Amino acid sequence: MNLDTHERDGWTVVAASGEIDVVTAPSIRSEVVNLVVNGSTDIVLDFGRVDFIDSFGLGVMVGALKRVHSHEGRLRVVIGEPRVRGVLELTGIDRVLELYASVDDAIADDTPPAAHAGTELSG
């Protein structure tokens, strides 16, 4: 997995490619934690070039959402691979995450977070 973090139009984009699994997921988690601790709370997880994700990757996304929301931030996730989107739909995680087809779409969406159905997590 490759990981690249950069700023774009007021958002911090964390771009990953390859596989997100038990080995690579902790790197993404650490990056998100560091970003939030340092004040970046509007984050796009760009998984547009991710071709595999396991339960550890799913956990990273849910954990990132909780962390960002606890700091009154926004999290958006870009998914490109249909198989990865299928995993999110199968597990129901697509109902709590704001999913987009591209980083451009994620950044351009000016819909208030509360208007996205089912984006709240309890616990």
Q: What total of structural domains would you count in the chain?
A: 1
Question: Percent of the chain scored above 70 by pLDDT?
Answer: 90
Q: Say whether pLDDT at 116 is over 70.
A: no
Q: Which two tokens stand for residue 31?
A: 């990056």
Our CA angle for 80, 20, 104, nearest 5°, is 30
Mean pLDDT of 20-46: 97
| CATH code of the domain containing 23 | 3.30.750.24
**Is residue 120 assigned to a domain?**
no
Residue pair 115/85 in contact by the 8 Å Cβ criterion = no
Distance of CA 99 to the CA centre of its chain: 8
**Is residue 116 assigned to a domain?**
no
Q: What are the angstrom distances between the C-alpha of 73 and each of 18, 64, 67, 110?
A: 27, 10, 9, 14
Specify the pLDDT at position 25.
Answer: 96
Residue 123: band (very low, low, confident or very high) from pLDDT cuts 50, 70, 90: very low
**Is residue 23 assigned to a domain?**
yes
Q: pLDDT tens-digit profile of 62-104?
A: 999 999 999 999 999 999 999 999 999 999 999 999 999 999 9
Q: How far apart (Å, rounded) are the C-alpha atoms in residues 65 and 70?
A: 8
